[in-house]
Structure 1
Amino acid sequence: MTKAPRIDETSPDMKAELLTRLKSVVPEAFSDGQLDLDRLAELAGDAVATGPERSGLTWPGKREAIAMLQAPSRATLMTERMAELA
């Protein structure tokens, strides 16, 4: 009888995988191990969208709001009836 292979319980780090793939394709876009966005845009040439033609929605605190949305929740909503029973 053979053992079933163990399944990894953690999800892959997609950001690290993306940076590894990007580094293998365009290593010159990295400086001191960090992605240099200006250099990457320079290498991409006309493929980079720049200027006021882009539309978007921005506000002060947007980065913090996105980080908060991505954080795991530790609270559960419940009805008043459920709260009475708890």
Structure 2
Amino acid sequence: MRRLAALFTAALFSTSLWAMHCPADMAKIDELLQSNPPSDATVLAQVQQLRAEGETLHKAGNHAQSVQVLGEALELLEASE
């Protein structure tokens, strides 16, 4: 019973950590788009689409997927520098 409780607590805690990570990633993407947007219009459109998708996933409670999608957007931004 203790193991089950520990597993449940760990799962609950990790979900809340993912949830807090999403807004930080979105803010970082927004900052990079304002300060140093990609010169390639295709990359810019991809980043904007991934950022919007990440926010939608975050609002739907799919935080792990949101972090993954937002990470892809950040990678595109960093590669375009």
TM-score (norm 2): 0.32
Bigger proportion of residues as strand: 1
Bigger proportion of residues as helix: 2
Indicate the structure (1 or 2) with the bigger Cα radius of gyration.
Answer: 1
Q: Which has the higher contact order (CA 8 A, sep 6+)?
A: 2
Q: TM-score, normalised by structure 1?
A: 0.30
